[in-house]
Chains A and B, each alone.
Chain A
Amino acid sequence: MIEKYSKNIIWILVALLGAAAFSTIALSRNENINAVWFITAAACIYMIAYRFYASWIAAKVLVIDENKKTPALRLRNDKDFIPTDKWIVFGHHFAAIAGPGPLVGPTLAAQFGYLPGMLWILIGAVLGGAVQDMTTLFFSMRRNGKSLGQMARDEIGIIGGTASLIGTFLIMVILIAVLGLVVVNAMKHSPWATSTVAATIPIAIFIGIYLRSIRSGRVLEASLIGFGLLLLAVFAGGLIDHSETMRIYFDHDSLTLAWAVIFYGFAAAVLPVWLLLAPRDYLSTFVKLGTVIVLAIAIMTLQPEIKMPALTQFTNGTGPIFGGSVFPFVFITIACGSISGFHSLIASGTTPKLLDNEKYIPMIGYGAMLLESFVAIMALIAATVLEPGVFFAINSPVGVVGADAAGAIQKINSWGFKVSVEEMELLAKNMGETSLFARTGGAPSLAVGMANIFGKAFGTHLLAMWYHFAIMFEAIFILTTLDAGTRVGRFMLQDMIGNIYPKFGQTSWMPSIILSSAIVVSCWGYFLYIGVIDPNGGVNILWPLFGIANQMLAAIALSVGTGILIKSKKLKYAWVTGLPLLWLIIVTTSAAYQKIFSQDIRVGFIAAARDLTDKINMGLIDSDKISITHQLIFNQKLDAFITLFLLIILWTVVIDMLRISFFKNKS
């Protein structure tokens, strides 16, 4: 009895502490707030959500049965279906879902101030993302580990199945392009960053050879050696940067770097997996988990002040990083960290084949998503501890603030954010860069934020090293996603074309490998190229497109879940997946509508295409830029078409789900 009361008291205290932290964040205006409140609010909300909401979903909605044999036990083959310890599954699942998305999205969304991003990360994760991951994992486990595509085909029909297949392919293409752009922007005219990122390739190849031929399968020691070499690469990058003869080999513009990334992507997709992709993944997982843990410890010990206001004037849609108002754009800018459709592919991929008891579903499905959400909170903190003027100077594209440093500073000052040319020059010097202006994409500003935090914790004399370590940290798993995504795209394409020409479907047939890899790389390479030549930085177009595609996939996963709940006579609980689905429908539809039809040329694709056409007709475009402008016009129209296509898929799946669920329910 006493124990029961003491437990209740503990939970009441957690709730009160969470409420206090949350109201401090929400009500603070015109004063600096400490990052500790962010961490406290997040931790309390996660604990309460996990203890009560996840448990309730497990007990009442899904009716998890711990005596039921899981696919890992029933279908055990020690290849795909392997009963595995819950903590190991948790580690694998988290490493699989946590990519660069939760770092980039919150950084970009910080242009609205810290509050919108913070609220969406917390509320979106506990009521949407974690629910999606957990229910998808459960439904997949109850269907022998079927994939989302197979479940969509079975539960909704051929339309749902095909939609998820096309959606996955499209997300892959846009995601790789935008991540490629983030890396390119971090490397442009930065010999230190470029040489460090380039060095990760031979290091990965060496580790690949080590793991295959020298010490087969010794992942742990190979990862440690690789990590040591990566640190050495960061250090050597500094030496290269200081050498007049060496630095010119690594000092390149965006376009050259984009071509290098495209060529690299093709090579990575064609080369054997043991040589580049697998060792890079071991290294990136190692670095990712290590850095995230160190960042968390540093934030908690240093307790930095948040400098960004709760809300900026850019909530009205005039933001320099991307156009569009806080609703709906914060909800598609932050996908990973709140709710990400991509996770449903992991939750219905390897994970359901490993769990040896259903009772661990909340821990893996719901818990791992909460941890990813926490990573997003840390990224938001790292971005918002910067002075807002510095944040906007780094993230605003040339197309908005101009190429001239003094002009850019004047523009940023006119928004009410203090920063000077001297301040930016000193910052760039401290970070070992020649300039930090217009380094769009989120990675450099996050790296500056991380370097500041690490610098305060471990010594400010190493700021440049920390900055380039952070760039390497982001680049290494962005490139892993790029490698893995291109390879998956290749498999999907081989599978699709294999239905018409069976020989092409043989995944090891070299002509098929080369052709399918070339097609996939051309698809994302096109968007990367356009992103690089776009004076507005490319992120303005690509990231919202990725967000819409990702949220559309989440809507498909939640449609499958809602459909299953309705069909299995659990209509009264269908709101659990139905409400986040409804929210995603509202958000995705309004964002897609604005991206297509808005008259604001920084938001609407058609308006932007029309504006550029008018400028050509009026002779306002220099003759040497006319051909690029035509490419930009074509791209704006293509983006409008893709957005419309995604919207049609979304509505078709939702309507079909409702039709089939209610029809089947009645019959």
Chain B
Amino acid sequence: MLKTIKSFYEFIRRLSGDDLYDLYLENHKKCSKKHNLMTKKKFYQATLDRKWSGIKRCC
């Protein structure tokens, strides 16, 4: 039961974009080319700029 609740919570986090920075950190650790690590705030801003540069919401 606890496992189901946890996986549901993780799904909701992923769906809402709540864990994007955690994923970014994970990928950054794995990545062989070391770019400058963005702060949480900078990363959030960059995500929003990218997200809202095109048609993202419909009628």
Interface residues of A (CB under 8 A from B): 78-80, 85, 87-88, 91-92, 96-101, 147, 168, 171, 175, 179, 211-213, 216-221, 223, 273-274, 277-278, 281-282, 285-286, 335-336, 340, 342-343, 345-346, 349-350, 480-481, 484-485, 487-488, 491, 507, 546, 550
Checking A85, A96, A219 against B16 with a beta-carbon cut-off of 8 angstroms, the contacting residue is A219
Chain A contacts for B47, CB-based, 8 A: 217
Whether B52 contacts A484 by the Cβ 8 Å rule is yes
Q: For the complex, what is the distance from the CA of A87 to the CA of B12, rounded to whole Å?
A: 10
Checking A101, A278, A285 against B58 with a beta-carbon cut-off of 8 angstroms, the contacting residue is A101
Chain B contacts for A484, CB-based, 8 A: 52, 55-57
Whether B40 contacts A79 by the Cβ 8 Å rule is no
Q: A88-B15, A91-B15, A213-B41 are in contact. Are A273 and B48 (CB under 8 A)?
A: yes
10 residue pairs A–B, Cβ–Cβ below 8 Å:
A85-B14, A88-B15, A217-B17, A277-B52, A340-B58, A346-B55, A346-B58, A481-B58, A484-B52, A546-B59
Whether A349 contacts B56 by the Cβ 8 Å rule is yes
Q: For the complex, what is the distance from the CA of A546 to the CA of B18, rounded to whole Å?
A: 35
Whether B16 contacts A350 by the Cβ 8 Å rule is no
Q: For the complex, what is the distance from the CA of A171 to the CA of B17, rounded to whole Å?
A: 29
Q: For the complex, what is the distance from the CA of A195 to the CA of B48, rounded to whole Å?
A: 29
Which residues 1-33 of B sit at the A interface, judged by CB distance below 8 A? 11-18, 20-21, 24, 27
Checking A85, A212, A277, A281 against B41 with a beta-carbon cut-off of 8 angstroms, the contacting residue is A212
Whether A219 contacts B51 by the Cβ 8 Å rule is no
Q: How far is the CB of B4 from chain A (nearest CB, A)?
A: 15
Chain B contacts for A80, CB-based, 8 A: 50
Residue of B nearest to A211 (CB): B44
Q: How far is the CB of A104 from chain B (nearest CB, A)?
A: 9
Chain B contacts for A281, CB-based, 8 A: 57
Chain A contacts for B40, CB-based, 8 A: 216-217
Whether A345 contacts B52 by the Cβ 8 Å rule is no
Chain A contacts for B44, CB-based, 8 A: 211-212, 216-217, 274
Checking A273, A335, A480, A491 against B57 with a beta-carbon cut-off of 8 angstroms, the contacting residue is A480
Chain B contacts for A274, CB-based, 8 A: 44-45, 48
Q: For the complex, what is the distance from the CA of A413 to the CA of B5, rounded to whole Å?
A: 54
Q: How far is the CB of B54 from chain A (nearest CB, A)?
A: 6
Q: A78-B27, A274-B48 are in contact. Are A96 and B56 (CB under 8 A)?
A: yes
Whether B58 contacts A343 by the Cβ 8 Å rule is yes
Q: How far is the CB of A191 from chain B (nearest CB, A)?
A: 29
The total of Cβ contacts below 8 Å across the A-B interface reads: 106
Q: For the complex, what is the distance from the CA of A518 to the CA of B16, rounded to whole Å?
A: 32
Whether B57 contacts A99 by the Cβ 8 Å rule is yes
Q: For the complex, what is the distance from the CA of A248 to the CA of B22, rounded to whole Å?
A: 48
Checking B12, B43, B58 against A220 with a beta-carbon cut-off of 8 angstroms, the contacting residue is B12
Q: For the complex, what is the distance from the CA of A342 to the CA of B58, rounded to whole Å?
A: 6
Whether B13 contacts A220 by the Cβ 8 Å rule is yes
Checking B13, B48, B59 against A100 with a beta-carbon cut-off of 8 angstroms, the contacting residue is B59
Chain B contacts for A335, CB-based, 8 A: 59
Whether B59 contacts A217 by the Cβ 8 Å rule is no
Q: A98-B58, A336-B58, A488-B55 are in contact. Are A273 and B49 (CB under 8 A)?
A: yes
Whether B52 contacts A79 by the Cβ 8 Å rule is no
Chain B contacts for A278, CB-based, 8 A: 48, 51-52
Residue of B nearest to A348 (CB): B55
Residue of B nearest to A492 (CB): B55
Whether A340 contacts B50 by the Cβ 8 Å rule is no
Q: How far is the CB of A69 from chain B (nearest CB, A)?
A: 19
Checking A175, A218, A487 against B59 with a beta-carbon cut-off of 8 angstroms, the contacting residue is A175
Residue of A nearest to B22 (CB): A217
Checking B11, B13, B57 against A485 with a beta-carbon cut-off of 8 angstroms, the contacting residue is B57
B53 on the interface (CB 8 Å rule)? Answer: yes
Q: How far is the CB of A221 from chain B (nearest CB, A)?
A: 8
Q: How far is the CB of A100 from chain B (nearest CB, A)?
A: 7
New contact pairs (15) apart from A99-B58, A273-B49, A340-B59, CB-CB < 8 Å: A87-B11, A96-B57, A99-B59, A101-B59, A175-B59, A216-B41, A219-B16, A219-B18, A221-B18, A274-B44, A285-B16, A342-B58, A346-B58, A350-B54, A488-B55
Residue of A nearest to B21 (CB): A217
Whether A273 contacts B59 by the Cβ 8 Å rule is no
Chain B contacts for A219, CB-based, 8 A: 16-18
Q: How far is the CB of B32 from chain A (nearest CB, A)?
A: 13
Checking B11, B18, B24, B27 against A218 with a beta-carbon cut-off of 8 angstroms, the contacting residue is B18
Residue of B nearest to A508 (CB): B49
Residue of A nearest to B15 (CB): A91
Chain B contacts for A213, CB-based, 8 A: 41
Q: For the complex, what is the distance from the CA of A168 to the CA of B51, rounded to whole Å?
A: 19
Chain A contacts for B53, CB-based, 8 A: 491, 507
Residue of A nearest to B13 (CB): A220
Q: For the complex, what is the distance from the CA of A282 to the CA of B50, rounded to whole Å?
A: 15
Residue of A nearest to B50 (CB): A79
Q: How far is the CB of B3 from chain A (nearest CB, A)?
A: 17
Chain B contacts for A212, CB-based, 8 A: 41, 44-45
Q: How far is the CB of B41 from chain A (nearest CB, A)?
A: 5
Q: For the complex, what is the distance from the CA of A418 to the CA of B55, rounded to whole Å?
A: 45
Whether B58 contacts A217 by the Cβ 8 Å rule is no
Chain A contacts for B24, CB-based, 8 A: 78
Chain B contacts for A147, CB-based, 8 A: 54
Chain A contacts for B20, CB-based, 8 A: 217
Q: For the complex, what is the distance from the CA of A168 to the CA of B47, rounded to whole Å?
A: 25
Q: For the complex, what is the distance from the CA of A99 to the CA of B58, rounded to whole Å?
A: 6
Residue of A nearest to B11 (CB): A87
Whether A481 contacts B52 by the Cβ 8 Å rule is no
Residue of A nearest to B52 (CB): A273
Chain A contacts for B45, CB-based, 8 A: 212, 274
Q: For the complex, what is the distance from the CA of A147 to the CA of B56, rounded to whole Å?
A: 12
Q: How far is the CB of B29 from chain A (nearest CB, A)?
A: 13
Most chain A C-beta atoms within 10 Å of own C-beta, residue among B27, B54, B55, B56: B55
Chain B contacts for A100, CB-based, 8 A: 59
Whether B59 contacts A550 by the Cβ 8 Å rule is yes
A-B complex: 8 closest residue pairs judged by Cβ atoms:
A101-B59, A216-B40, A220-B18, A217-B44, A484-B57, A91-B15, A219-B18, A342-B58
Q: For the complex, what is the distance from the CA of A92 to the CA of B15, rounded to whole Å?
A: 7
Most chain A C-beta atoms within 10 Å of own C-beta, residue among B18, B50, B55, B59: B59
